[in-house]
Each structure stands twice: as structure tokens, then as C-alpha cells.
Structure 1
Amino acid sequence: MSDDDPEQTISIPLPVPPPPAPAPARARDAALVAPVAPRRPADDEPDDEDVDEVLPQTPPHRRRQRDRRTPRTNQLRPGDLICGDCGQGNRPTRRFCARCGTDLDEAEVARLPWWRRLRFRRGPRVVPLGTGSGQASGDTAPNDRWRTAFDKIKIVGGLLFCLSCVVYASYPPYRNAVNSEVQGVRDKAKGFLESRYSPVRPEKATSKTSVKGHGADKLLDQYSNSYWLAPFEAEGQDAQRATAKLEFDRLVSLDQLIVTSGAADALTEHGRPRILLLTFTNGKTSVITLEDTAKPQKFSLKGATGIKGVKVSVGDTFPSKKNDDVAIAELEWFSLLS
């Protein structure tokens, strides 16, 4: 190219395309590409048009979580907050249960049992301030003084009780005196409990076999030094049975009988009843077996309801070596109060 040439031509070389690959190479590259098949819906997958027709399915089984709560202690102290879900006692400063995490805003507060609240409780120690000497006063609180006095009383009482037990075991006169006092208290309590019974007094008593001066009316005079006396022979052709009839002024119901047998002034000179047969006006009977003693003997009666009278027959006796008879000092009848 020269400066005198008016037209200058610039030539740019063009890229030369690669030669086409041979047919076997193209076939090999196409084989490396996996064909993408169109997605087909599964058999159990509902179509968009049939969504409303799918039946409800059973929810999958979930594995039960392990209970990781702490074991229950059941040691409640006064002021503890009792969890309403698990019953655990928690400190008053907690807001949530230490065992299950339940909110304790409405938890119940543990209290002392009533028998423990009767004891003196130690209160806060209250002392007045000093006067500038740097030492507090040594005065104790009123609750402490009462507690100290109560403790001393308990100690003295325990010592006296132990001493009395030793004396009771080693000194017979003291033991007899204590037993007598206890028996007196027991008798008073027994009498109070038995005050539910009301005495029922017969209007009259008669007997065809009474010894002169000792008629059946002696059974009703309320004196133990007088007695009804009648002949009695248990065996033989001329056997005599002592019998007395008692009549009431109205229909009564009898629940208890007290028998005082024998003659007070001559207990061994006359026979004492061993068996009494009671026949009530309502047709029912009752058999009573007595002991050979001059003390009153108490018996419960059954069937003596709505009666007007009763027949008392001696079935057997504790015989006397001097006389063939039987003596009864008193018969006392009682009705249960309604």
C-alpha cells in the first residue's frame, strides 16, 4: 500500500467454522443425555378435579413421648405451693411447678395440721434498739417466754408421771388408792350412760306361797333389808314352786331387770334363786340364770313389750342347809327411754 493510492482497502480475516463432527461422534453425545419422561400421577394421588372426593385418612401413629418429670416427693412444708396437676410441693418463691411446669398462680398453700397448730410456735425475736452503747438489749419476745415456761411444765409433768409410775408399781397402798379412785370414776361414768333407763314400778305384787311377814309386796318396797320368802322344794310329789305375780297400772315395755337375791340379815339361812322364769302377759317368756351373791345382778329383757303384768317363778335355787325355801330381796324393772 502506498500514500499515492486514493482508495485503501482493509481486509479482516473471518473465523473459520469448525468442521462438522462425524456422524458416530454425534450419536455418542446424544446417548449421554437421558431423556426426560413426562410425569404421571400416582395411583393414590388425587387429581385436581377429584380433591373433594378423597376419603379421610388415618393420621400417622406418633410415638409417645417419655415422661421426664421428676419423681414426686410428697414432703409438704407449711407455706409450700401445691401444684394442682401433680400435687408437688413447691417453694413459695416459685412461679411454675418444679415437677411439671404448671403455673402456680392459683396453687393451694400448704398449712399445718390442726393438732400441730395447738403448740406454741416460735415467733420472731424482737429486741429494742440499744441506747448507743453498741449492744442490743437481752429481753426475749413474749412468745419465747411462753414457750420456755411450757417446756418447763412439760419436763416437770413428765418427771412426776414417771415417779408416780414407780410408786404405783412398788407401793401397794398407793396402788390400791389409785385403783379405788379409777373404779369410782368408772362407776360414775357407767351410771351416767345408764341414765337412759327409766324405772317402772309395779302397782302390786301377790303370791299364794309366801311365808307370813315376808309377802311378795317386799319385792317392791325398795329396801334391801326386807325380802320375799316362800317355801321351795324341787323334788318329790309335794314339790312347791315359789311364784309371784306383779301387775302394772298401764301397758309397759320392759328392757332391764335388776335382781337382789337372798335374805340380807340371814343370807345362808335361806335359799337363793338360781333360775327365774318370767312369763309376760303377751305370752312370751324369758329365763334368767343368777349367781349366788347378795349383790344386785342386772339382766336385759327381750319380748316384754306392751305388757300389763309378769309372773315370776323360781325354777331352781342355791339351797340352804337349814330351810327349804327361797328368798328374793328386790326386783327392779326399767324401761328404755325413747
Structure 2
Amino acid sequence: ERDREPDAVLPQAPQARPDRRDRRTARTNVIRPGDLICGSCGQGNAPARKFCTRCGFELREAQVARTPWWRGLLRRRRGPRVVELGTGSGQQDEPAPAPGGRLAAFWNQVKVVLGITFCLSAMLYASYAPFRNVVNARAEEVRTSVSGFIKSQYSPVRPAKVTGPSAEGRGPGNLIDLNTSSYWSVPHPKESGGEPQKTLLVVEFDRPVSLDQLIVTAGAGEAFTQHGRPRQMFLTFANESRTRVDLRDTAKPQTFPLKAGLATKKVTIEFTDVYPSDQGKDVAVAELEFFSLLS
């Protein structure tokens, strides 16, 4: 029987092929330094692999992940501990110390010695008077030398004049005469139901100066409790900057830093509050001393 030939088929429109699905799995790992980064899908692979675990792409020319430079600054790298091999004599050799172990052991011994020395010195200081006197004398010498060095860094700046109100002949010139037995005083009454009246002093220099330190000797010397003493004052410099000074109620000189007194020829001092006295309604100041830091 003769083979039958197939029937003729008319040309038909081409059928659309279905989209090829991406059957690759999602990235499941975090890229670590030393991993091989797949050039096809970006998956990180162990350095020993030849093909990508995600898409099967060859890793022969894959890029190696490197450690960012800034991570080396945040943590200290720790290498493996290296231990020397034995000599082969059958006896077990002592392992080599870890890097830095000898220094740490030495420092621990130093701390122990220092701690014992400190405890013994404290016991001797507390129980033996001659030793205590020697330590106190040495400490006083060190304190005096340090204090002298700090004071030597400042140079006194003499005002040209001081103007302001006064009472009973106690003029503002007494503030800069370098004599703490003399003093300046001025009435400082309170307004009815209000704040104390402002008391202003104007200190002038013959040239622009940089003021870094102020020493105030408050009160009226031996008559300290017979007059009011300044509690708070404001210094206004030529550049309109202000510095607040809070004083203690003591007859000893008080030192204050001046950070805003740069290249000024005039300083206005305003007394805004006082330590009151039962014997007088005034405020008294024995001395004002200005200093400039040596360059």
C-alpha cells in the first residue's frame, strides 16, 4: 500500500512563545571578604567554588570581595596563634607565648608592685609623723613651683584711669593703687519694690590691650563686714561683648578668666548684686587688677 502523503497545510500566523521564567533562587547570603562575586547574578560564593551556587555561572573570572579600608581602623586584627613545633626528641615542648603575652605579664607584675608600694606608703604616712612631714613639705614645694610658673605667664596691665561715683572720699582711684588697705565705696540703695540701682565704673587704658585675667579684692579691708560686698558684676568691653563674674563673700583676692577682653581700651563694670551689710547701704571694693597672657 502506497504511503499517503500529508495534506497540504496553509501558512498560519506564528504563535507567541511563552516568556522564559527566571528559575534562579533569590540571593540568600551576605557577601563576606574573600567571597567570589558571580558576574551574572551577584551571588557571593565560597572561594573554593568553581560555579555559582545560584545560577551556575562559571566563577573563573569572578571578582573577589575585599575588606573596606575603614574596618581595619575600627577593630584590631588578630592573627592565628603560632606555636613552634617540637624538636622531635619525644618530649613535649612548651608552647610559644601568644603575641603581646610577655608584655602583658610584665605590666601585671608592675601593677602588683606599684599597688603594694602605694599601700605600704599610705600606712607609713598615716602612722609615722616624720615621713608624713617630709611628704607634705615636698608636696608644698611642688605646688608652689607650679603656682609660680602659672603666675609667671601673666603680665599686669595698669589702667590709665578709673571713673565712677564715690562716697565719703573713697574715690575709684583706690581700686588701682595696689593697696588693699584703701578701698572704693559707693551707695547702693534699693528702689522701692525693685532691683538695686546700677553702679557703673569705667576703666580706661592708654592703648588697646588684651585682657585675660582679673583679680578682685572685695570689701573694705579690715572693715570688711561694715560695708556691702559685690556678689555679681558684668564687664562690658569695647567690642560690646560681656562677661559675667560671680564673686564669693570673702576678703581674699579672687581670680577670674577674661575670654572676651581682646584689643580693648575701655571696660565698663556694672555691679548688679551685693552681699548686704547691716551697718551700711553701700558696696566696697579694695582692688581691681588686670592681667594679660604673655605670648
TM tier, smaller: 0.5 to 0.7
Given that 1:234 and 1:241 are in contact with CA atoms closer than 8 Å, whether structure 2 keeps it comes out as no
Given that 2:173 and 2:184 are in contact with CA atoms closer than 8 Å, whether structure 1 keeps it comes out as yes
Hey, what does 2:29 align to over in structure 1?
Answer: none
Matched, 1:334 2:291: yes
> How far 1:256 moved relative to its partner?
0.9
* Residues 271 and 181 of structure 1, relative CA distance in 2, 3 Å threshold: farther
Can you give the 5+ residue segments of structure 1 that lack an aligned partner in the other structure? 1-57, 59-66, 77-160
Which structure exhibits the higher relative contact order, with contacts defined as CA atoms closer than 8 Å and separated by 6 or more residues? 2
- Distance in 2 between residues matched to 1:224 and 1:264, nearest whole Å: 6
- Distance in 2 between residues matched to 1:215 and 1:68, nearest whole Å: 86
Matched, 1:225 2:184: no
Q: What residue identity is the alignment partner of 1:222?
A: L
Hey, what does 1:109 align to over in structure 2?
Answer: none
> How far 1:201 moved relative to its partner?
1.0
Q: What residue identity is the alignment partner of 2:173?
A: D
> Aligned to 2:174, what secondary structure does the other structure show?
helix
> How far 1:260 moved relative to its partner?
0.9
Given that 1:202 and 1:248 are in contact with CA atoms closer than 8 Å, whether structure 2 keeps it comes out as yes
Given that 1:261 and 1:330 are in contact with CA atoms closer than 8 Å, whether structure 2 keeps it comes out as yes
- Distance in 2 between residues matched to 1:173 and 1:269, nearest whole Å: 44
Q: Deviations over 1:233-258 (max 9, x none)?
A: 24337953322111001001111111
Matched, 1:323 2:280: yes
From 312, 317, 331, give the equivalent of 2:269. Answer: 312
- Distance in 2 between residues matched to 1:268 and 1:165, nearest whole Å: 43
Given that 1:220 and 1:330 are in contact with CA atoms closer than 8 Å, whether structure 2 keeps it comes out as yes
Q: What residue identity is the alignment partner of 1:316?
A: D
> How far 1:269 moved relative to its partner?
0.3
Q: Deviations over 1:68-113 (max 9, x none)?
A: 943544799xxxxxxxxxxxxxxxxxxxxxxxxxxxxxxxxxxxxx
* Residues 212 and 301 of structure 1, relative CA distance in 2, 3 Å threshold: same
Matches within 5 A, 1:71-90: 72-73=96-97
> How far 1:187 moved relative to its partner?
2.9
Hey, what does 1:262 align to over in structure 2?
Answer: 219
Q: What residue identity is the alignment partner of 1:247?
A: E
- Distance in 1 between residues matched to 2:191 and 2:128, nearest whole Å: 54
Can you give the 5+ residue segments of structure 2 that lack an aligned partner in the other structure? 1-59, 61-81, 86-94, 101-118
Q: What residue identity is the alignment partner of 2:225?
A: T
* Residues 238 and 186 of structure 1, relative CA distance in 2, 3 Å threshold: closer
* Residues 68 and 223 of structure 1, relative CA distance in 2, 3 Å threshold: closer
- Distance in 2 between residues matched to 1:174 and 1:323, nearest whole Å: 51
Q: What residue identity is the alignment partner of 1:278?
A: L
Q: Give the TM-score normalised by structure 1.
A: 0.49
Hey, what does 2:154 align to over in structure 1?
Answer: 197
- Larger Rg, first or second structure (1 or 2): 1
> Aligned to 2:223, what secondary structure does the other structure show?
coil
> Aligned to 1:306, what secondary structure does the other structure show?
strand
> Aligned to 2:142, what secondary structure does the other structure show?
helix
Q: Give the TM-score normalised by structure 2.
A: 0.56
Hey, what does 2:51 align to over in structure 1?
Answer: none
- Distance in 2 between residues matched to 1:227 and 1:281, nearest whole Å: 26
From 203, 228, 239, give the equivalent of 1:271. Answer: 228
Given that 1:234 and 1:316 are in contact with CA atoms closer than 8 Å, whether structure 2 keeps it comes out as no
Question: Identity percentage over the alignment?
Answer: 47
Given that 1:271 and 1:324 are in contact with CA atoms closer than 8 Å, whether structure 2 keeps it comes out as yes
Hey, what does 2:78 align to over in structure 1?
Answer: none
Matches within 5 A, 1:175-190: 179=136, 182-190=139-147
* Residues 74 and 258 of structure 1, relative CA distance in 2, 3 Å threshold: same
- Distance in 2 between residues matched to 1:265 and 1:68, nearest whole Å: 80
Q: Structure 1 or 2: larger strand share?
A: 2
- Distance in 2 between residues matched to 1:332 and 1:248, nearest whole Å: 13
Hey, what does 1:44 align to over in structure 2?
Answer: none
* Residues 165 and 241 of structure 1, relative CA distance in 2, 3 Å threshold: same
> Aligned to 1:303, what secondary structure does the other structure show?
strand
Q: What residue identity is the alignment partner of 1:329?
A: A
